[in-house]
Amino acid sequence: MAGQDKTSENETMMQAFEWYVPADHKHWQRLRDAVAGLKATGIDNLWVPPGCKASSPQGNGYDIYDLYDLGEFDQKGSKPTKWGSKEDLMQLIEKANEVGVGIYWDAVLNHKAAADETQTCLAVEVDPNDRTRETSSPYEIEAWKPKECYLQDRRQRKGDLEQALVKEAPLVETDDKQYWSQSVDKEKGNYDFLMYSDLDYNHPEVVNDVLNWGKWLGNETGIKGIRFDAIKHASQVFKQFVETLDATFGTGWFLVGEFWKDSLPDMCAYLSRMAHKFSLFDAPLVYNFSQLSTTENSDLRKVFDNTLVQVEPYNAVTLVMNHDTQPYQALEVRIEPFFKPLAYALILLRQSGYPCVFYGDLYGIKGDPGNHVQAFGVSCGGKVPDLCLARKLYAYGKQNDYFDYPQCIGWTREGTWDYPHGLACVMSNAGPNEKTMYVGYLHRGEVWTDVLGWEPSEVTIDEHGNGLFPCPGTSVAVWVKRDAPGRERFGKFDADIYKT
């Protein structure tokens, strides 16, 4: 309508991998073929896995070896990474740009792996539970370090000046008297060291090299954002990294950090230290989902208590599962299957937070039979894409909450002038239930049905704009006008990504 501002379109991110994707170097190809279908179901941006060369052809990229090798050079056992060649990666990005999907890179900047040679240096051992307390006198160790090398285009790649931190958590001492960084999380006394060879961001040349890599990556690939891995362990560099990107490319990149900790005060303090330059994944919300799904007669009204999306909605990326919390991983968080549709409705259909859906829930988890790791099929009865589409088409306008009963909650979205159709969501973690909710006076007389198809009845909106919306037991129903534009698009997602 003339004179009215256009409503911002809802966006959704997908983590475009799970831990057990086959190491067949075809992942970039599969994503390229799938990206148009993902866009059609309401997914706008893909967080892709670490695409830099890992320690082996099977490495997921968190065992990072070479920041500048995107599957281009024959080292560590292959030319392509686990995910594919650089050519495949660029074809994925080209296709994504064509259909309007952004690519977010997974940047692993805390450490390096698979070093090529050693050097002698002094080290002291520290208490693994309090790394500020030394438990030995200095002695010589052989610490891993990378070789100096040059890329084919004669662009020099520095050796990153890293020092290996060996044993549980020793302190490496050099002529520069290196110590733990003080701008990191205080877990274990000091959480500078995580794994492999820790990068020393107290050294200016290391900082400059990583900042230059960020500029190179943006120019080389045309990505739209970055997910920073392990930011609890090297926080000081990330603020500089963001400022460098802003100065080089302008604002507008999406940046999110992995600060995985079930402590809202620590997360908020980190955002404050970083001047709210980027977002964080809402780990406390994931733990709330787990507690609610595994506790009998749990109170759904408390689902957002002490979560990042509750107190910092602009900087919260909401999620249900990721590659670290999926089954058999070190940070596994158990969420019962019946609860996953409820959880996805809670992150996708409400006004706060930027939701991130998980590849393993859309396409299944492959597992690893050789290591007794079970495979899992698609979750939520294949309905996660439909929930994404409902977000894209209908989850707009004023939100009315009905968090008034412990085992049954709901909310409505009244719609806007340019997204007028509205939505009602009701869920139960016990038996079948129903809830009278207001969807707006403009919807009176409309007939609404469940886009998920789990609740077969119809609801007629009364003269006051209210409807009595039912839902099945331990389930969720998402109600929209029966003949709203876009209803014919539901149930069309192709989840067979491994068919080629």
Catalytic residue selected from 229, 361, 386, 446:
229
Dihedral, CA of residue 35, residue 38, residue 40 and residue 42, to nearest 10:
-130
Nearest by Cα to 13 from 397, 364, 376, 319: 319
Catalytic residue selected from 258, 312, 414, 446:
258
Nearest by Cα to 272 from 280, 281, 262: 280
482-490: list long-range contacts, CB under 8 Å, 24+ apart.
Answer: 482/446, 482/447, 482/448, 482/449, 482/458, 484/393, 484/394, 484/421, 485/393, 485/421, 486/389, 486/393, 486/394, 487/451, 489/40, 489/41, 489/389, 489/393, 490/386, 490/389, 490/390, 490/451
Whether 299 is a known active-site residue: answer: no
For residues 343 and 320, give the distance between their C-alpha atoms in angstroms, rounded to a whole number. Answer: 7
Q: Are 13 and 357 in contact (CB under 8 A)?
A: yes
Measured CA to CA in angstroms, residue 438 lies from 240, 397, 463 at distances of 47, 13, 11
For residues 108 and 100, give the distance between their C-alpha atoms in angstroms, rounded to a whole number. Answer: 26
In sequence order, the 6+-apart residues with CB closer than 8 A to the CB of 338 are 293, 429, 474, 475
Q: DSSP secondary-structure letter at 51?
A: -
Whether 404 is a known active-site residue: answer: no
The residues annotated as belonging to the active site are 229, 258
